[in-house]
Amino acid sequence: MGEFDLIERYFKRPVHSAVLGVGDDCALLQPRPGTQLAISSDMLVEGRHFLSTVDPFKLGHKALAVNLSDLAACGAKPLAFTLALALPRVDATWLEGFSRGLLALADAHGCELIGGDTTQGPLNICITVFGEVPVMAGRSQALLRSGAKVGDDIYVSGSVGDARLALEVFRGTLQVPAAVFEQARSRMDQPTPRVALGLALRGVANAAIDISDGLLGDLGHILSQSGVGARFETSFATDLIACRSNPAWSGCQSDLCLSDEQWLELVLAGGDDYELVFTASASARAAVLEAARSSQTAVTRVGQIEAAPGLRLIDGAGQLIDHRYPSFDHFA
C-alpha cells in the first residue's frame, strides 16, 4: 500500500463543518463570526509517551485525547484536527486499529480530521487541534493560565496519579494487585479529555490548565503566569487517586502496600493525567458545582490562591509540609 492509498483508506472522510478536508494542499476552515480559533499541537513519540506494546486502538484514542485536553483547558469547543504521522512501515492491522481509536474519539467530540501528512520514519504522531471560543463584548471567553486572582479556590477534576502508578509498575519500581494495575493502566492508555467541563467553566473559572506534567508543576504555571502563590491542602489530595479505592487492595500482601507519601507523590507529581486544574472566585462555588454536575465530572477543591508567591503544601493538621516535587520535563 502506498502513501495515497493509505490516506484514502484510513484517514479520508467527508467533512461537515470544515469548508474543505483531506486531499488538497490546504484544508479550509471558516470560523463563525464572533469566534476565535484555539489551536494546540502535541507530538507523541514511542518510548516517551507510549510503550511499543500499546494497543493501536488505544494509542489512536490517546493521541487525540491529549490534544482535546488542551482545548478543554482553554474552554474551546472542538472543531477539527490535522494528523501528521511517521510510520516505520505500512502495517494494515496497526493502521486499522489506530485510525478506529482516533476517529471514534473524534466523532464523540464532533472533531473532524481535515488534513495532515504521512511519511516513513520512527513512529511519531503529531496532531494539531482546532477549537472554537466565543468573543463576547469584545472579550475572549478562553480560559487562560494567567487569570488566577488572590482568594480564588483551586479545583482539580476527576482523578489524578493513576497513570503514573501504571507507568511505575511497567518500570518495575512498584508492585500492585492485578486489578489495581488494570484500573491504572486504562487511565494511562485512555485518558478522558475534560471537554464538557472546560466548556461549562467558561465565565465561571478565572484560570485553567490541563495536567500533563504533574498536578503541582502544572498548577505552578498558573501561579507564575498569574503572578500569585497558593496554599494546597494535601489532605484532599490522597483521595484524588482512583486506584486507592480499588477493593483489590483489601487482603493484599503488605509488601504491595504504598505509604501515604508514595500516594501523595503519585497525585502531586504523577503527570499524564489530562485532568483540569482551575481556579474560581469563592463566590462562584455554586456555579462550579453546577458546571461539574452538568458535565458529569467530579471536581475537588484542593486549595486557595494567595498573594505571597510560591506553593505551600498544608497537611491535615494545618502544618506546612516541606516538599520538592519535580515536574515532568522531557529533557531533564
297 Cα distance to chain centroid: 14
Pick 118 or 183: Cβ nearer a second copy: 118
* Smallest separation, CB 50 to a second copy (Å): 11
Q: Which residue has the cell 496497526?
A: 94
Neighbours of 172 (CB within 10 A): 7
Give, as one character, the DSSP assignment of residue 249: G
Pick 103 or 242: Cβ nearer a second copy: 103
* Smallest separation, CB 249 to a second copy (Å): 34
Pick 10 or 263: Cβ nearer a second copy: 10
* Smallest separation, CB 261 to a second copy (Å): 25
- Helical pair 92-108 and 56-74, crossing angle rounded to 10 deg: 30
* Smallest separation, CB 264 to a second copy (Å): 24
Separation CA 30–CA 79 (nearest Å): 11
Pick 81 or 232: Cβ nearer a second copy: 81
Separation CA 320–CA 35 (nearest Å): 44
Give, as one character, the DSSP assignment of residue 7: I
Pick 103 or 243: Cβ nearer a second copy: 103
* Smallest separation, CB 274 to a second copy (Å): 11
Neighbours of 260 (CB within 10 A): 10
49 Cα distance to chain centroid: 13
